[in-house]
Structure 1
Amino acid sequence: MSEGAEPGRARALVEALRGVVGAAAAHVASAERDQAVAYDVASMSAAVAAAGELLDHDADLALLYAADVAADLTGRLTGRESLWGVDGTALEGVAAHVAAGRDPAFLERVAERVLATREAGPRHLSAELQLVRAAFREFAADRIAPVADRIHRDDEDIPADIIDGLADMGCFGLSIPAEYGGGAEGDEPAATPAAMLVVTEELSRASLGAAGSLITRPEIIATAIVRGGTEEQKRRWLPMIASGERLCAVAVTEPDFGSDVARIATSATRDGDEWVLNGVKTWCTFAGRAHYLLVLARTDPAGHRGLSLFVVDKPSFPGREWRLTQEGGGSVEGRAISTLGYRGMHSFEVRFDGWRVPAADLIGGEGGLGRGFYLQMQAFANARLQTAARAVGVMQSALELAVDYARQRPVFGRPLADYQLTRAKIARMAALIAACRAFAFAAARAVTAGDGQLEAAQVKQLACRAAEWVTREAQQLHGGYGYAEEYGISRLFVDARVLSIFEGADEVLALRVIARRLMKP
């Protein structure tokens, strides 16, 4: 614990922040009608929740982060007090704590530790999870980091040795029960969401596009199969996914329907013992290399109750374009979408034209009709946790690069790290990362306990927005070099931008998930 960090300050500040957010959530009548205020309240609820989780991790970082949250909240509240239903003096009682946490001298002391360790505070991992972290950090350093910049720069396919190596380490079966070939049983760390977070962070620290997202797709499809599949389907699909013999992609989003999943139009029409798929999906990451496509399609016109999930089996294709045809004229084809970042897996537009799928490949069989929306939403909770971990991994990498550059770069005769402004930036980066990391583990516990939809959405929204700021500030510290592709920070900056868009767009999560749950009577 650093000099000047009084645990009571941060705790009192967090309690005051909770009071303001709670009062606002009770006051705002409609997330749909009062969107501007509801968005701010939802966003602040996530930040305050993260501040609360950081209290028992590190007193310095907890105070720094809580003070920054208070400053952010004050800015959002000013001029809108009546809309929030909160008195403008609500935080006056903790003003001294805010001042202590924002004192530049205090930030400099915090930065001293970060500059020495390249870490955003202690991890508080069990011995088992420390071993998991060490194993995947070593793998990432040996296999992923050496090729990450090249894959991004040339938009290459992910090398097979990365995929094969992760399969050998059991990455694709983290959430699959042991009886189906996965690692989820007993108290083994690989069976816990915490292990998933640790693995995802370490892979994303090396490269978001080349590794950090590889286990998300199997996580989504496996969750849907475990919760909704028949016993025959579990035994047919899950061992192949867990072993990495069959790679996975998800086909939910459509050109006209992104987060508005309940309105999707891709149809599945019954024809004897087959279903015929017609429609277009977009942003289907890894749909070329994947053998299994998890396709959400409309089997009935009845809104979200008319959606069902299919597993479409296909060959794996390298590159950016592929096409398949069936006897009788059915076809499915994919074309990769060029993107700013997040390269390697490639995101595809996939077109189904009379493509026939065996009735046995409807998840849940006849009992799965109309359950697709619910199964997909359940699977997204874990995916959002993983996306938060991906954001933390990207931020951790950016912090390390910023620290390294600041320590060795001379500016006006002194190392960049010696300047107060640099240290303030470094300290704030560390506090954000620590808060997001602590909240991600808390959200994982909530999901394990049986719900956790609110916490998963909150930490996803918070961490992904934080990643944009952290990578931007890290790039800024690099000056002109940060804009050069030969420096890894430029890759982190463009990769971070996608995080607030996929797995639940920032605004949709805030208004449709977080605000609605906060405002329930």
Structure 2
Amino acid sequence: MEMEKSELSELEDVVSSCNYHIERVLTRCRQAAVDPEYDQVLAYELAHTAASVQASNSALNYARRGSTQLKLAQVFVADVVDTIISGAVKHEHIFDLPSNEYEYMVAFRRRYGNPNFTSQLAETQGDRGLDAEFELLQDTFRRFAEQKLFPVADEIHRRNLDIPEEIISELGEMGAFGLSIPEAYGGFATGGGNDYLAMVVATEELSRGSLGAGGSLITRPEILTRALLRGGTEEQKQRWLPKLASGEIMNAVAVTEPDYGSDVANIKTTATRDGEGWLINGVKTWCTFAGRADVLMLLARTDPDRTKAHRGLSLFIIEKERFPGHAFRFTKPHPTRADLIGKIEGRAIDTLGYRGMHSYELSIENWWVPNDSLVGGEQGLGKGFYFQMEGFENGRIQTAARAIGVMQAAYEQALRYASDRKVFGKSVSEYQLTKVKLAKMAAHIQAARQFAYDVSTLMAKGEGVLEASMIKAHVCNTAEWITREAMQIHGGMGYAEEYSVSRLFVDARVLSIFEGADETLSLKVIAKRLLDPK
């Protein structure tokens, strides 16, 4: 026990050094006037290094729970130290480490990155550290994933099918769509410190079953919910939130445009006043679930003065019919002009993975909506960018939870396959290299999970906006690496659609692209805020 206390103290010291190092680097960057717009490589690496250090703080808190937790944290933090040392070599004028600190970190890395130490943890996952209420929640959604999602996930992926309606309806009955909706509007959020945690736990388990047919289903109502809570009128909240909470309606998010991916401020889709409503015209892309959705959350330019950028954008809720399959087209007449027919056409974009929900390109022509479709009414005019960003910030922590679920599934499948598969006379799991890979997977997954729990607690307090971006950037990159390693452990069979790990690999690839592309998120949000905290 005394040795464990000594090891915990050692971990506390090295995590403290990592935090001090980041603060020192930030100070030097500010003094050197480092600009994320021009010093992009440095700023990008700074953002990811800072995010990994934040994750190490969560790993340290987890380590205080016991011996197993401590070992997993030691493996993870050893890799964080490796990142810091590498940064010091590449950017020594900014990231340099004093010789005594460098030697201390190298010694820690040598001890806990040592294959002989790491390989002992190949099948060690550790507990989640949840209380009984959330263990029950986790178990409920895990059973749903195993009974309802696993049996259909591969078929949906291979044939690019629609999500079965029974999955949507059963999730609605379970309350999955109302986890972040206040009780006053038919949801389950009480306004306490654990509202976001419930969403994170549920999302991980659903994503473990299927990213496209499970975890991502509850992201869309989350985004619209946050936008409505931030800027909607009371009438709009009363109208839409109970229906979202029950699953009576499902929504899609129409923000991105073909020429303006993450550059939301410059979108071209317009909404112009027309009698008692608005005429919508434009093209949207990557509008996931647009066919099945009952409503679109659409961002449009209401002020023709493009110099106002994001201050000229407003948010609308557009009702539509449900359509199955990969393409749809529907029309409706203008309420007062017989010569004007509104039209919305959608075409699903073929993708490597993330199948089931389908992501569409939408063409919208002269689509008339009444004034009450404008989120916030007249008071919301020109504030749509801020309303939708409220939803996207929430979406980032949820995307991290989706990544954790995908990673967990990949780890479990790799561990199972390595135990069953024999190569050169012994199982794959007996080889040191495999053991080290599995141990690192487990350590990084647990650190990511604890980081997500910590960020969810911050967000429940109205904080954690920067941290939500940091965890999204950090965890989604980790998911790509872990699913690749899981695929590699499967050898040739990992490349076959017969095994689910191939689906997990291509699903993981999308995580660092949507909800804020990794580069844009790292430079425009994380590095910018770190370097200018005002």
What TM-score, normalized by structure 2, do the two folds share? 0.94
| Distance of 2:222 and 2:100 partners within structure 1 | 46
- Preserved contact between residue 422 and residue 477 of structure 1 (Cα < 8 Å): yes
Shift of 1:56: 2.3
Tell me the distance in 2 between the aligned counterparts of 1:215 and 1:67. 35
- Find the aligned partners of 2:193 and 2:17 in 1 and give their Cα distance: 39
Q: What SS is found at the alignment partner of 1:500?
A: coil
Whole-angstrom CA distance in 1 between matches of 2:380 and 2:185? 20
Q: What letter corresponds to residue 353 of structure 1 in structure 2?
A: E
* Corresponding residue number in structure 1 for 2:104: 93
Residue 52 of structure 1 aligns with an amino acid whose one-letter code is: N
- Structure 1 segment 136-147 matched on structure 2, within 5 A: 136-147=141-152
Q: Give 2:525's aligned residue.
A: 513
Aligned residues: 513
- The residue aligned with 2:77 is 66
Cα separation, 2, equivalents of 1:355 and 1:88: 65
Q: Deviations over 1:299-345 (max 9, x none)?
A: 01221100100000001111111111121221111110000000000
Secondary structure of 1:334's partner?
strand
Q: What is the rounded CA distance, in whole Å, between the counterparts of 1:79 and 1:188 in structure 2?
A: 41
> Residue 91 of structure 1: CA displacement?
2.3
Pairwise CA RMSD:
1.6
Matched, 1:244 2:247: yes
Per-residue deviation at 1:95?
2.3
**For 2:343 and 2:161, how far apart are their aligned partners in 1?**
26
Which residue is 1:196 aligned to?
199
Q: Does 1:20 align with 2:32?
A: no
- The offset of 1:286, in angstroms, is 0.2
Tell me, in whole angstroms, the C-alpha distance in 1 between the residues paired with 2:502 and 2:512: 18
What is the match of residue 317 of structure 2? Answer: 311
Matched-pair contact (CA < 8 Å) for 2:81–2:105: no
Instruction: Tell me how far 1:264 sits from its aligned partner.
Output: 0.8
- Looking at structure 2, the residues matched to 245 and 59 of structure 1 have their Cα atoms a distance apart, in angstroms, of 45
Q: Find the counterpart in structure 1 of residue 343 from structure 2.
A: 331
Letter in 2 for 1:513: V
Contact residue 2 and residue 60 of structure 1 kept, 8 A: no
Name the SS of the counterpart of 1:309 in structure 2: strand
- Counterpart residue type for residue 460 of structure 2: T
CA distance in 1 between partners of 2:119 and 2:480 (Å):
23
1:290 aligns with 2:293: yes
Contact residue 193 and residue 457 of structure 2 kept, 8 A = no
Name stretches of at least 5 consecutive residues in structure 2 with no aligned partner.
63-68, 334-339
CA positional deviation for 1:188: 9.8
Partner of 1:117: none
1:94-113, aligned counterparts within 5 Å? 94-111=105-122, 113=123
* CA deviations over 1:98-132 (Å, ceiling 9, x no partner): 11111111102222x42xxxxx3210011110111
Look up the equivalent residue of 2:58 and give its one-letter code.
E
| Contact kept in structure 2, 1:381 and 1:452, CA below 8 Å | no
The match for 2:441 is: 429
Residue in 1 that maps onto 2:283: 280
Amino acid in structure 2 at the alignment position of 1:305: R
Q: Are the counterparts in 2 of residues 471 and 496 from structure 1 also a CA contact under 8 Å?
A: yes
Q: Secondary structure at the match of 2:24?
A: helix
Q: Distance in 1 between matches of 2:204 and 2:90?
A: 39
Aligned to 1:254, the other structure's residue is in SS state coil
CA pair 89-35 structure 1, distance change in 2 beyond 3 A: farther
The answer as to 2:263 corresponding to 1:257 is: no
Instruction: State whether residues 458 and 514 of structure 1, in contact with CA within 8 Å, keep that contact through their aligned partners in structure 2.
Output: yes
Q: Which one of the candidate residues 502, 505, 509 is aligned to 1:490?
A: 502
Q: Which residue of the partner structure matches residue 392 of structure 1?
A: 404
Gaps of 5+ in 1: 115-119
Most deviating of 234-243 and 363-372: 234-243
- Aligned counterparts of 1:73 and 1:194: Cα–Cα separation in 2: 30
Give how far 1:280 is off: 0.4
Match of 2:211, as an amino acid? L
Which residue does 2:432 correspond to in 1?
Answer: 420
Label 1:325 to 1:25 Cα distance change in 2 as closer, same or farther (>3 A).
Answer: same
